[in-house]
Chain A
Amino acid sequence: MILENECQKFSDEALVERVLTKSDYYACLVNRYSEALGRYVVRLGANPVDAEDVLQEVFLNAYLHLNSFDKNLKFSSWLYRIAHNQTISAFRKTNVRPTVELTDLEPWQEMARESCPGVKIDQAMLSQKVALALDRLDQKYREVLILKFFEDKDYNEMSDILKKPMGTIATLVNRAKKQLTGLVEKELLQ
């Protein structure tokens, strides 16, 4: 068993090298990313109960394909890409439409407030409207907004995770903001 102190000494890339010789070091990488990836999987729309299974699959898949990790990329981007693909594939398998969790809506509310500056509404109502709007937001738009506003990823990392050119990412972010604004305004009018 590898101690947490030992893990902290190494960068992600150095740990990948070590994992290839001793699998116990993989616990360091799993512990480092499990919380963030767990939140990401739920934000993408996975059921919190299923999220742990998806997460385990993500880490097992990443371990299996560890040799395909390109050291020119950031390890976190590579892992996020696997998590993204695994979550989408889980949705397809179960044929379930992803739904947004009502918790953790602060960044969306901030965005909605920025989008509709003249409108004064109370916090609870805004949360509800934002959640409804998010549920209707196209998946491709939702995922770019999640990466940008929740995971704090820059365009370069988003491009690596979603395997799309940076120009496309910028366009998607702009369109996503517009669609979310439109949906929130529509919800507020109702």
Chain B
Amino acid sequence: MSTISEKVLQKIKQGQIKPLPRWQYLLSLGGRWFGFGLLLLLAVCSLGLLWYFWSDGPWFVYGHFGFGRIFGGMPLLLLGLIIVGCCFSLG
């Protein structure tokens, strides 16, 4: 009866299994940080837009055409998406 180490080594050799290369993990990690950075940048832009709409943004223009609610809610929606995205990215 073979031991578990013999069975594992046999499977490794028979299946010609090799450890996945390190660069794949580095790429995945880099991708995550890049995504996180991008989301952070979007968050900053979104906050800027939010501030702009709430302070002296062109509410009257959108209001005039009846788009006020849609466009006014956009930064909030974007911000929400970014927060969710950041949580996923960190998780």
Give residues in A with beta carbon < 8 Å to B: 19-20, 23-24, 26-27, 30-31, 34, 38, 52, 55-56, 59-60, 63-68
Contacts and interface: CB of A to CB of B under 8 A. Distances in A.
Interface stretch (B18-26, B36-44, B62-70): B18-26
Given A52-B4, A59-B4, A24 B9 contact: yes
A55 B24 CA distance: 25
Interface in B1-60: 3-9, 11-13, 17, 19-22, 24-25
Contacts of B11: 56, 60
Interface of A is mostly: helix
Given A31-B3, A34-B4, A64-B20, 17 more contacts: A20-B19, A23-B9, A26-B12, A27-B6, A30-B5, A34-B3, A56-B8, A59-B4, A59-B8, A60-B8, A63-B19, A64-B17, A65-B19, A67-B20, A68-B20, A68-B22, A68-B25
Contacts of B7: 56
Interface of B: 3-9, 11-13, 17, 19-22, 24-25
A67 B17 contact: no
A59 B13 CA distance: 14
B20 A26 contact: no
Contacts of A26: 5, 8-9, 12
Contact of A67 (B5, B8, B12, B25): B25
Contacts of A23: 9, 12-13
A55 B4 CA distance: 8
Nearest to A35: B4
A38 B7 CA distance: 15
A67 B9 contact: no
A30 B11 CA distance: 13
9 contacts: A23-B13, A26-B5, A27-B6, A34-B4, A56-B4, A56-B11, A63-B17, A65-B19, A68-B20
